[in-house]
Structure 1
Amino acid sequence: MIELAGELICVSPQEAEVVRAYLPDHVALTREEEGCVLFEVLPVGGGVWTVHELFTDMTAFEAHQARVQVSEWGRATAAIRRNYDVREVADPVEPAAEHVHDHPHEHDHAHHPHGGDAG
Structure 2
Amino acid sequence: MSTGDGDPMEGFDTTIHAPHRLRVCALLEAAGEAEFALVQRRLGLSASALSKHVTVLMDAGYVEQRKAVRDTRQRVWLRLTRQGRAAYQGHLAALRAITAPPDPAH
Q: What TM-score do you get using the length of structure 1 for normalisation?
A: 0.29
Larger Rg: 1
Q: What TM-score do you get using the length of structure 2 for normalisation?
A: 0.31
- Which structure dedicates a bigger proportion of its chain to helix? 2
- Which structure dedicates a bigger proportion of its chain to strand? 1
